[in-house]
Amino acid sequence: MLLLIDDDIAIQTSLSLLFRKEGFAVRMADGPFETRDVLAEETPEAIVLDMNFSVDTSGDDGLRLLRYLREHLPTVPVILLTGWGSIDLAVQGMKAGASDFITKPWQNEHLVQSVRTALKLSAAARQSGEPASASRRQLDEQFQLDNIVGEDPRLLDVLATIGRVASTDAPVLITGESGTGKELIAEAVHQNSRRKRQPFVKVNLGGISSTLFESELFGHVRGAFTDAKTDRVGRFELASKGSIFLDEIGDLDPASQVKLLRVLQDRTFEPLGSSKSRTVDVRVICATNRNLEEMVAKGEFREDLYYRINLITVRLPALRERPADIPRLVDFFVDNLKTLYNRPNLQVDKSARQWLKNLTLPGNIRQLKNIVERTVLLSGTDILTIDDFEKHLPTTHAAPVTHAFLPPVGSMTLDEMERQMIERAMTFHNNRVANVARALGITRFALYRRLEKYGLNYDSSD
């Protein structure tokens, strides 16, 4: 049952007609008292709450009721209806735990989609509460994850999350350093969704100037500006029925952020030079290597836009956090190159695969891929050794960790250095104390003592 809370009889009627037509069982409530009466009889699967339901349109009553609902029905999704003028209220509502917000006047399709997405997400959350983390094999059986190599638990968590939410229309925000595979993950969201046969349109927002933003995203009509000789279809329209991937969303200037918010909010936009609104049905996937939360706190990124895009957030680990995946990635790249360059005997010897784990790779997987490709191309041999890699490593790139990289004398105490080395070894060996102790040449006991001394976390059962 879907519970609709609104005191305006006209809105109640049109909402209830809409959802009944879509096959929902519907109940209605005028305000807090009626809501409590309904809840005493039946628990709804989802709730649509008009934030300005009372004559006092400050929205305080709406927020109070929302808090009550979150407290008493924490797993039931609540979708908010708010006026355009009260986006702040919507943001407060999202902070208080609402699933989504829709601005009035709403698009029927968008509102129904939002309720369905919230229902699917809450069902997925119930399911995922049961089994422990899935293994790579289980994930491959369930989802289409070709070309995404890795078995690190943090990556598997990301894959499980995107697999689970791909079938919904929920917006996904992918964060992570440059080269960690954000675009690959965005494609996987699309590939595992019901939109997979429709377009996947990528837009690099970092590369679009604010003057071109509108015409690039929304298109323009002939004559909209001097150089507009013909009509142009924008990226949103190209992505119609499919997914749009907004890369580098943290690079968007404030004026463009407002324009983007509007289309994400109402799913409507006007091409430049046209006064006719168009509606679009797209799934939105965003990525950034910047810290959006911090940018919101500094006022550099709109909070309402942030809440609009971050319903589901996944963070991709940097390669240095998952060094055990490096040999697997190397094998994968070499396999691809075997076919590409017709060199079936190509391989990387065992010690070189291990050695590559020691490189500092700020460019992450992209950088590792370049190093492997470059070495394959430049060294004539089929079996690549450490020597081959060392010879062809660009000096400005990944520096192998050797004593030449000790910090300058006076810049660090021995204690600080010891702490950093231990932290690094713990990350490298996935916190396996026995392996870390061996790698550092000390006993386990000595390692425990140091972990305690520096206040570093470890698993005492290990």
Q: Interface residues with ligand ATP (CB under 6 A)?
A: 147-150, 176, 178-184, 247, 289, 329, 332, 365-366, 369
- Please give the Cα distance from 30 to 125 (Å, whole number): 30
Q: Which is nearer to ligand ATP, 165 or 371 (CB)?
A: 371
Q: Which is nearer to ligand ATP, 127 or 204 (CB)?
A: 204
Min separation Cβ 319 and ligand ATP, Å: 9
Min separation Cβ 185 and ligand ATP, Å: 7
User: Measuring CA to CA, which residue among 169, 175, 216, 174 is closest to residue 190?
Assistant: 169
Q: Which is nearer to ligand ATP, 6 or 248 (CB)?
A: 248
Min separation Cβ 378 and ligand ATP, Å: 19
Min separation Cβ 362 and ligand ATP, Å: 11
Min separation Cβ 155 and ligand ATP, Å: 7
Q: In the complex, which residue's CB is closest to ligand ATP?
A: 181
Q: Which is nearer to ligand ATP, 370 or 435 (CB)?
A: 370
Min separation Cβ 321 and ligand ATP, Å: 13
Sheet of strand 78-83: strand arrangement = 26-29, 2-5, 46-50, 78-83, 100-104
Q: Which is nearer to ligand ATP, 179 or 234 (CB)?
A: 179
How do beta strands 283-288 and 383-384 pair? Answer: unpaired
Q: Which is nearer to ligand ATP, 181 or 271 (CB)?
A: 181
Rounded to the nearest angstrom, the gap between the alpha carbon of residue 271 and the centroid of all alpha carbons in its chain is 28
Q: Any idea what the Cα angle at residue 273 is, between residues 272 and 279, rounded to 5°?
A: 55
Instruction: Supply 165's token pair.
Output: 């939410």
Instruction: Supply 434's token pair.
Output: 């026995």
- Please give the Cα distance from 443 to 435 (Å, whole number): 10
- Please give the Cα distance from 6 to 3 (Å, whole number): 10
Amino acid at 84: W
Min separation Cβ 234 and ligand ATP, Å: 22
Bridge partners, 400 (sequence order): 359
Min separation Cβ 316 and ligand ATP, Å: 7
Q: Which is nearer to ligand ATP, 103 or 289 (CB)?
A: 289
Q: Which is nearer to ligand ATP, 94 or 318 (CB)?
A: 318
Q: Which is nearer to ligand ATP, 70 or 366 (CB)?
A: 366
Min separation Cβ 272 and ligand ATP, Å: 27
Q: Which is nearer to ligand ATP, 249 or 365 (CB)?
A: 365
Min separation Cβ 186 and ligand ATP, Å: 8
Q: Which is nearer to ligand ATP, 148 or 352 (CB)?
A: 148
Min separation Cβ 149 and ligand ATP, Å: 4
Min separation Cβ 248 and ligand ATP, Å: 7
Rounded to the nearest angstrom, the gap between the alpha carbon of residue 69 and the centroid of all alpha carbons in its chain is 27
Q: Which is nearer to ligand ATP, 26 or 330 (CB)?
A: 330
- Please give the Cα distance from 66 to 5 (Å, whole number): 11
